Amino acid sequence: MAAHFEELWEQCEKLHQAGGNSSNIVDELIMKLNLYKIIDQKTDIPKEELQKIKARTMGEIILTITNLSLVDNINVFEALNMAKQYRNIEMDAKIPPTLRIPGR
């Protein structure tokens, strides 16, 4: 078992060493995201069971993303960090200047 998330990510990337192409991986990802959406709309499943199904599906989604990051040689730490920085800029732009926290 991996001790850190980074190790787990790399182990999952190694599961995909056979490769693939970005288009097929994105199609798989879309299919799994649509499945998650369908699961989320279920009302006839007990909450605890629904949570387990969602967690398993989310794991499959993330596993597919590890394949995409491997094939396209994406540094996911840098990509996520950059996305977070841009989101922070967007969020700050929505806050009126009179409500902003000094030094931010």
- Is residue 9 a contact partner of residue 52, using CB atoms and an 8 Å limit? no
Q: Yes or no: say if 15 and 63 are a contact pair by the CB < 8 Å rule.
A: yes
Q: What confidence score (pLDDT) does residue 104 get? A: 55
Q: Tell me, what's the pLDDT at 59?
A: 97
For tokens 């980074």, the residue is 6
pLDDT of residue 89: 86
pTM score of the predicted model: 0.82
No. of H helices and E strands in the chain? 4, 0
- Domains of the chain (ranges; CATH) run 10-99 (1.10.287)
User: Phi and psi at residue 57, in whole multiples of 5°?
Assistant: -65, -40
Give residues with Cβ within 8 angstroms of 29, minimum separation 6: 61, 64, 65, 68
Query: What CA–CA distance (Å, rounded) separates 100 from 88?
Result: 13
pLDDT of residue 17: 78
Per-residue tens of pLDDT for the chain, all 104 residues: 767 999 999 999 999 877 789 999 999 999 999 999 999 999 999 999 999 999 999 999 999 999 999 999 999 999 999 999 999 888 877 777 666 666 65
pLDDT of residue 41: 94
